Amino acid sequence: MPESTGSGAGTAQAALDAVQRYPCEAIAIARRVLAGGPTVGADERSTAERAVGLALRELNDLPGALRHLRRAVRAAGTPRARALARMSLGYVLANAGRTGAALRAVTAALPRLTGADAGRARMQRGVVLHYRGRYDEAVRDYGLAIEIAQREGDLLLEARARNNRGLLNAHRGAAGGSGDDLSQAADAFHRLGLDLAAADARWNGGIAAGRRGDIAGALRCFAAVDEEYRRLAVPRPALLLDRFELLLSVPLVDDAAEVARAAVQALRRRGLASDLAEALLAQARAALLAGDLDTATEAAAAARVRFRRQGRRTWAVFARHVELRAEHRRGARSVALLTAMVRTADQLDATGWRGPALTTRLEAGLLAAALGRTGRARDLLTVAARARRRGTADRRAQGWYALALSRRILGDDPGAARALRRGLSVLDRHRMSLGATELRAHSGAYGQELAAEGLDIAVRSGAPARVLAWAERWRANALRARPARPPDDPDLVAALAELRLVSGLLEDEVLAGRPAHALRGRQARLEQHIRDLARRAPGGDVVVVAPNVAALAARLGSRVLVELVAHGDRLRAVLVRDGRAGLHDLGPLADAVDLARRHRFALRRLVTTGDSAAARAGAAHAAAALDRQLFDPLRRRLADRALVIVPVGALHAVPWSALPTCAGRAVAVAPSAAAWLGADRREPPAGPPVLAAGPRLPAAHAEVRRLASVLPGARLLTGTDATATALTDALDGAGLVHIAAHGTFRADNPQFSTLELADGPLFAYEWERVARPPGCVVLSACDSGLTGVRPGDEVLGFTAVLLALGARCLIAAVLPVPAEPTTALMLDLHRRMRAGARPARALADAQRAFGVADDGPARATAAAFVCFGAG
């Protein structure tokens, strides 16, 4: 949170000075001033009212804060005092989500202020612009505040402005300056003896590291600052919960659960009952997402009891919501549970928390149907279905889902399928217009439910083409369009930032038990505004069409497509060959996932711990077992043809060429049939090859220099020449790009995925400016082909980024790979592609050549590489 401050006079100034350290004491001092009656001067009364208002803001009482700050404006006797009061009023208006009024208040204050006061006003205006999403203007005002502070010798103002500017640059992913600002702010706070403020600035440095994709670095920073908070004996539960939310959004569910557990332990030791209840609720939420249903139930129940004792009824209802959902997911089926879920849904509605109310009512409808109470189920689902008519996109989609479920109860599967398609269309428009993965992910789970219901209808019909259509309907949709506008579009950036702000304020208001009708309306209007911005831009409108069998057959030729599909607890495959599709049952999904994990473990052990008979035997056994499950039912139809494989879930990480059926066979792996079809249709550019080596990888420089002899005319980027700008420029129109560099994959937002270059990280955002994406990209670093998989089989990482940008294929490793055999494999691969072999064929032949000499670590290294995309 950006900081704000002000100034005043007399005893009232003492109250103002105490606001951030001791808000309750500040209120007490200010009220003693106000109790003085007519003897108190106008400006001192205004300052006291400011102190009360700002202290109430620290205590999260925004209505009370606004009331006192308006009094401060009215009470002021001089233009300066009135301007200072308006400055503070603007700060709290921004917190309340009224950023337009906030900007007017602070801007009106500016002409009346000089010197350090003007610097504080400039900083405050920067805070409001920050909330408004007008980042460049905010940075400029923060910079002006810093200049004034330096001229006036006001180190505290400079520190606060630097802290704000650094935090803003970190949140928006600015290339430079944020770390320097935050470290200077921390040093200045330390020199001023403000150890708590210094710790907060260092905490913000951890946030900046996380935004850069350096999750490990962020966690180290947070741990160090935790130690400082303990030394200062100042609890910071809100910051712990901020870290929890950040980790959950990545999503690093296990790490988030650990943070929540640590917060519970620390707060229990300190006896901070209020904060402990919130930490228990965080623990329950993380456990629910992680599938640890016992912990989720216990933690939610404990949090609910504590909230009720504290009189925090809104929080108690939310905790009950989590508790009941955990029970339902555990498989509990009883009338008592149904009654509790219905009652909780009604209570959530009454408190204004309509999203959780809708989810609870939907699950209650499913429970009623499972209990055989079809009438009750239809009643609940009918109420839930009303949400399809209005509200945010995720709620409308859930409403269509409820309607589909009610129609299935009546036996109307065609009508159910129509409702499901309507719901998915709502989410299509929402996700594609927003563009930001962090916002799309919120609706992803709902889309998965709708698509799974449609898939179930298709499987039960026994029609392979329908199964393929529904499997594709919500699979890897994010890859079907490039971003609607480049990321420097100020209107879209500002609208998205404001939507994030409004969503957070809305949740805060609901948790506090206050009405939030205005914020809900504003949220809906912002969503419409963002859709409008996207529609005006080239490529903003996206029609999601699942590829049909005929379209696939036209591109496949002699190749065979195998699309894996999760249907409940079964793994199925749709196989397309010679224009005909077939549906096959491959057995339990859990068995395939377990075998895939064992296979990866065995290969990783073979590569990283050295050759041994046990390691070879383990890898061979796991590969044979996985191969039998996946391919025995398909073997007659596969023959010896090249394959296009569309995996599911954890199977995206399979090193396919290590399986007997795939060894020596050209295999292209794609996130979806639609993604493969789009990639295969693209004509690769004919520009010269580009070879780049990043820092901290000595073998990378040797690798690209050897490759330069194989690829004459290639542009070589090494050492200080391997900068983000140079590589981005070189990508445009390149037929082939080979990059040996450390990579960071941002599962929360693939546009922040990075490659480490000489001058720092190259963001995927920057690749969007490339007018002609490269044809084939080869990444030779460890695990560079690994992906994060979200609901709907959204594949996140460089595979997704590059295919979405328009690259035809990507060759990358899904396992750790040692340097020397990797370089040899890369040389062989590029020689074969140079001779005219398609990437998938060239990779298969290079991998087979390695296996002739060695079936141990070298062969495992070769098998780690996968050809993604068209191949």
Q: Which of 811, 820, 816 is nearest to 842 (CA)?
A: 811
Query: Is residue 612 classed as helix, strand or coil in its secondary structure?
Result: coil
Question: Residue 460 CB: number of other CB atoms within 10 A?
Answer: 12
Residue-level pLDDT at 352: 62
Residue-level pLDDT at 524: 64
Query: Is residue 483 classed as helix, strand or coil in its secondary structure?
Result: coil
Write out pLDDT tens, residues 665-688: 999 999 889 889 988 988 888 889
**Residue 564 pLDDT class (50, 70, 90 cuts):** very high
Residue-level pLDDT at 195: 82
Question: Residue 445 CB: number of other CB atoms within 10 A?
Answer: 15
Q: Count each helix (H run) and each strand (E run) in the chain, helices first.
A: 38, 16
Residue-level pLDDT at 434: 42
> What's the per-residue H, E or C state across 632-659?
HHHHHHHCCCCEEEECCHHHHHCCHHHC
Q: State the pairing for strand pair 788-790/743-744.
A: unpaired
Each residue of 510-548: b (16+ CB within 10 Å) or e?
A: bbeeeebeebbebbeebbebbbebbeebeebebebebbe
Contact between 450 and 400 (Cβ < 8 Å): yes
Identity of residue 311: G
Contact between 63 and 515 (Cβ < 8 Å): no
Question: What is the average pLDDT score of the chain?
Answer: 80
Write out pLDDT tens, residues 585-641: 999 999 999 999 888 888 887 776 666 677 778 788 889 999 999 999 999 999 999
Residue-level pLDDT at 535: 36
Residue-level pLDDT at 856: 65
Contact between 856 and 611 (Cβ < 8 Å): yes
DSSP 8-state assignment for residue 435: -
Alpha-carbon span 260 to 300, nearest angstrom: 12
Q: Where are the alpha helices (DSSP H) in 609-694?
A: 613-631, 635-638, 673-681
**Residue 557 pLDDT class (50, 70, 90 cuts):** very high
**pTM (predicted TM-score):** 0.62
Q: Which residues, listed in sequence order, are joined to residue 574 by a DSSP beta bridge?
A: 563, 583
Alpha-carbon span 285 to 319, nearest angstrom: 9
Two tokens at 378? 């239809």
Identity of residue 632: D
Q: Which of 115, 127, 209, 111 is nearest to 160 (CA)?
A: 127
Percent of the chain at pLDDT above 90?
A: 36
Highest mean pLDDT (candidates 22-26, 120-124, 350-354, 393-397): 120-124
Write out pLDDT tens, residues 384-400: 999 999 876 778 889 99
- Alpha carbons within 13 angstroms on the beta-carbon side of residue 784 total 26
